[in-house]
Amino acid sequence: MNQHSPYSRVGYCSICEATTKFAAQYDWYRDHLRCSQCGSIPRERALALVLTRHFPHWRTLAIHEPSPSIGGISPKLKRDCAGYVASQYFPGRLLGKQIAGYRNENLELQTFPDESFDLVVTLDVMEHVNQPAEVLREIARTLKPGGVYLFTVPTYKERATSERRALYRPDGSVEHYGEPEYHGDPVSDANSLVTFHYGYDLAELIHKWSGMDVEVVRFHDHGRGIIGDFTEVYLATKPFGMASQGEGETATLNADDGWPAEVHAMCVNASHPHGVLPDVHKEDLSFRFVYDHPGFPTKDEAIGYYFNDGARSAAKVRKIIDEWTGGVELLTILEFAAGYGAVTRHATAALAPHTLHSSDVHANDFLTNVLGVRSVPSTDVPEELSLPTEYDVVFALSFFSHMPRSTWGRWLQRLYAGLQPGGIFLFTTHGTTSMQYFPQATLDGTGYWFDQSVGHGGPDATRYGQTITSKEFVDTNIALLPGAEYLAYEPAGWWEHQDLYVIRKPSTAARVGNRVKPAGE
Digit-coded pLDDT (tens) for 362-381: 898 899 888 888 889 999 99
Digit-coded pLDDT (tens) for 312-323: 999 999 999 999
User: What's the confidence (pLDDT) of residue 452?
Assistant: 77
Whether 350 shows a pLDDT value over 80: the answer reads yes
Cα 127 to Cα 164, 211, 212, 363: the distances in Å are 9, 20, 19, 29
Architecture (CATH level 2) of domain 302-504: 3-Layer(aba) Sandwich (3.40)
Cβ distance 227 to 221 under 8 Å?
yes
Which residue ranges make up each domain of the chain? 42-237, 302-504
Digit-coded pLDDT (tens) for 147-194: 999 999 999 988 899 999 999 877 778 989 889 999 865 545 567 899
User: What's the confidence (pLDDT) of residue 328?
Assistant: 63
CA 483 to CA 505: how far, in whole Å? 6
Helix ranges restricted to H, 191-343: 202-210, 261-271, 285-291, 299-325
CA 394 to CA 505: how far, in whole Å? 11
Q: In 10 A of CB 469, how many CB atoms?
A: 27
Cα angle 380, 468, 419; round to 5: 50
The residues facing 500 across adjacent strands are: 428, 490
Asked, colleague to colleague, whether 42-237 and 302-504 share their fold, the answer is yes
CA 434 to CA 116: how far, in whole Å? 50
Cβ distance 275 to 349 under 8 Å?
yes
Digit-coded pLDDT (tens) for 57-79: 999 999 999 999 999 999 999 99
User: What's the confidence (pLDDT) of residue 96?
Assistant: 86
Cβ distance 27 to 1 under 8 Å?
yes
Q: In 10 A of CB 290, how many CB atoms?
A: 21
The domain defined by 42-237 folds into: Rossmann fold (3.40.50)
Cα angle 427, 429, 432; round to 5: 145
> Closest Cα to residue 499, out of 426, 405, 423?
426
Whether 361 shows a pLDDT value over 80: the answer reads yes
> Tell me, what DSSP letter sits at residue 243?
P
Among the ranges given (55-59, 449-453, 475-479), the one the predictor scored with the smallest mean pLDDT:
449-453
